[in-house]
Amino acid sequence: MSDQNQSAWPQDLLQREIVLTRLIDAPRELVFEVWSNPEHLPNWFGPAGFTLHTKEISIAVGGRWRFDMIAPDGTCYTNRMVFKRIERPLLIEADHGADIDNDPNTFHMLVTFMEQSNGKTVVTLRQIHPSQMRRDQGVAFGAVEYGNQTLDKLAQYVAMRSL
The answer, as to whether pTM is greater than 0.85, is yes
Domain span holding position 78: 12-159
Euclidean distance between CA atoms 154 and 157, whole angstroms: 5
Euclidean distance between CA atoms 160 and 98, whole angstroms: 31
In a domain, 6, yes or no: no
pLDDT value for 5? 45
pLDDT value for 10? 63
- Averaged over successive runs of 10 residues, the pLDDT of the chain (163 residues) comes to 48 88 97 97 96 98 98 97 98 98 96 96 97 95 96 96 65
In a domain, 5, yes or no: no
pLDDT value for 9? 53
- Structural domains counted in the chain: 1
pLDDT value for 13? 82
In a domain, 37, yes or no: yes
In a domain, 72, yes or no: yes
Euclidean distance between CA atoms 143 and 73, whole angstroms: 17
In a domain, 4, yes or no: no
